[in-house]
Amino acid sequence: MPQETVLNHSEISSRSEPPASGPPPGGPPEVRGESELDLVELFRVLLQNKFVILKFSLVPALLTAIVVLVMKPYYAGISSFLPPNSMSTGASSLLSQLGVLGMAGGALGGLKDPTLIYVGILQSRTVADDLIQQFDLAKIYKTKKLSQTEDVLKAHTKIAAGKDSIVVITVKEDDPKLAADLANAYLAALHKQNDRIAFTEAGQKRLFFEQQLVKEKDLLAEAEVEMARTQEQSGLIQPSGQAQLQIQTIAQTQAQIASLEVQLAAMSQAATSENPDVIRIKSQIEGLKSQLAKLEISSPKKAGPGDVQIPTSRVPGLTLTYVRKARNMKYHEALYELLMRQYESAKLDEAHSAPLVQVVDYAVVPDSKAGPPRTLLTVLAALLGGFIGAVRVFFRHTMGISRAAEA
């Protein structure tokens, strides 16, 4: 009997000993079971604290609902336009003249879509300042500084180009009429900028002749004042017939030279010195200068009877002063007329080659509110509050388990 008892104990101890090596049987299923238990435990904890989570969800939702109800509704004025086709001549020239816009060349050097240029023009400070002054937006927005008014207008305005190349202008304001008027004012400002900025080669020529015309107009006014002063001081009203003819001839020749020099300067912006037109104009200038030198001879040897080219040395002192002032005035008159004709011709060329911006929709006064989205904001606030509440409940549950394990 004692021997059997010993054997039974040894069998029991041998059976109860675990294997020396190898993974315990059923290891992976036990791990999977713990993961499943964790998810179930998490769901159980959230379900037990559902009223806490609900409180965290309802409080921000209620506060958000109160805030959006107090907020003023706003209306959206929407206008749109179609820029020139990117394959058109005007648009291609526009891309090549980015420097005229005063924009950053490095940022715009890789642009291939001309619609982005028009979006940039509409977002420029010049357009914003025009609208601020036109609608007195500083008073409407209750701002003291121009920069603050520009920021508010920028925040209320969205200008975007869609995949269909149509640029849409959206302005959101409390006043529906103001929203529509501002959206349409952006279109008018775009047309104004197109007239001001020389996009094409013809536009640059027009701008060049316009600047020269303004300068020549001032010089002509000064010449007329000097002529009137000379008449008062000398008492002369008209010189002799031959001198008058000589004055007109010299003045017309000088005006032709000046006109050709202006035309050469305008052509030099787009052509090289090897261009046949440039060579031809230079040759004409040299010929006219040679003719002018003959007209302004000071020696009387070559002047015969009936010759209209009277040397200036034979003109008396007072008459000489009169002749010079009259010649100067005639020169500026002739040059002003030539520049005016070239300016009008350049304007016609620009009108034919200028990029055309086509208005798709003018903004109308909106009859329904565009915002704020009260329902969406309230739902988002509820979801965010509920998420915060669930995180808080889970964190407190984890901390409770940790403290229990430490105890």
- What is the residue-wise DSSP string for 304-338? -TT-S---GGGS-HHHHHHHHHHHHHHHHHHHHHH
pLDDT the model gives residue 5:
41
Query: Which H or E run includes 210?
Result: helix 201-234
> Domain spans of the chain?
35-71+372-402, 75-200, 202-298+308-350
pLDDT recorded at residue 123: 93
N-term to C-term CA, the chain: 49
407 residues of the chain, pLDDT tens digit each: 444 444 444 444 444 444 444 445 444 444 444 455 477 777 787 788 888 888 888 888 888 878 877 777 889 999 999 887 643 444 444 444 444 444 433 333 444 567 888 899 899 999 999 999 999 999 999 999 999 999 999 999 999 988 888 999 999 998 999 999 999 999 999 988 876 765 566 677 777 888 888 898 888 888 888 888 877 765 555 555 555 666 778 888 888 888 888 888 887 777 777 888 888 888 888 888 888 887 766 434 444 444 444 454 444 566 667 777 888 888 888 888 888 888 888 878 776 665 677 899 999 998 888 767 767 878 888 888 888 888 888 888 788 777 777 76
What pLDDT is stored for residue 51 in this prediction?
84
pLDDT for position 135: 94
* Spatial contact of 180 and 74, defined as CB atoms under 8 Å apart: no
For residues 100 and 205, the answer to whether their CB atoms sit within 8 Å is no
Other CB atoms within 10 Å distance of the CB of residue 382:
20
Q: According to the model, what pLDDT value does residue 239 have? A: 54
Query: Residue 158: phi, psi to the nearest 5?
Result: -130, 125
Amino acid type, 152: V
Rounded-to-integer distance, Cα 50 and Cα 400, Å: 18
